[in-house]
Amino acid sequence: MIAPSLLSANFLKLEDEINMINKSKADLFHLDIMDGKFVPNITFGFGIIKQIKKVANKPLDVHLMIDEPDRYLSEFKEAGADYLSVHYETCSHLHRTIFAIKELGMKAGVVLNPHNPVELLYEIVDDVDFFLLMSVNPGFGGQKFIPRTIEKISKLRNKIEQNNSKALIEVDGGVGLNNASQLADAGADILVAGNSIFGSDNPLDTISKLKEIIK
């Protein structure tokens, strides 16, 4: 699947950008929620998500980069999240958080920062709907892909298969046409792309090309 990250969209023309994604071959809208504490940047909250939900015709994949995400799980559901992911680094009781997300009726995802070993996720392979491996340090769009992520994807893919789990692997940060096939070969299921889509001359065409690679 392809999940364009609206972080790189033109917010003055957000409705046009959403309509472009609506008619594209993309599968999800990736929304980055940052609190200025867990990550050194602040984005947007419930009001904007609700507005996006009114126009978007594909599921919303909401990536929380906030401390203590448990405080707000039901608010994100109400705002329109379909997929909700929390960082491993922000949850003391991750297992409880995953099940709370599922009970609210959303797909539950766990995100891992680049410095953390992928083995930290092994105990929850049977519990989550998807994993999100960060391939840049979270906080900003347009950063350079960290190549070691490829090995982490392969390891996680093997573990998922060993367990007969249905968990998907999403990759986020510095993803584009230059590395998409490597990521797909390593076992990625969902590619998040911000700058490589919205910064390209023809976003619709870039999405089609990415989709061709990952399907």
Chain positions contacting Zn ion, by CB under 5 A: 32, 63, 172
Q: Which of residues 139-168 bind ligand DX5 (CB under 6 A)?
A: 139, 141-143
Instruction: Give φ, ψ of 156 to 5 degrees.
Output: -65, -40
d(C-alpha 19, C-alpha 13), whole Å: 10
**Among residues 73, 118, 128, 136, the one that binds ligand DX5 under rule CB under 6 A:** 136
Q: Order of strands, edge to edge, in the sheet holding 2-4? A: 2-4, 190-193, 168-172, 130-134, 107-112, 83-87, 60-65, 29-34
Catalytic residue among 27, 32, 61, 129, which?
Answer: 32
Q: Does 138 bind ligand DX5 (CB under 6 A)?
A: yes
Q: Does 190 bind ligand DX5 (CB under 6 A)?
A: no
In the complex with Zn ion, the residue whose CB is nearer, 53 or 61, is: 61
User: Which listed option, Zn ion, ligand DX5, none, makes contact with residue 193 (CB within 5 to 8 Å by class)?
Assistant: ligand DX5
User: What tokens appear for 40 in the block?
Assistant: 């050194």
For the chain, the residue count is: 215
Residue 15: helix, strand or coil by DSSP? helix
Which parts of this chain interact with ligand DX5 (CB under 6 A)?
5, 7-8, 30, 32, 63, 136, 138-139, 141-143, 172-175, 192-196
Catalytic residues: 32, 172
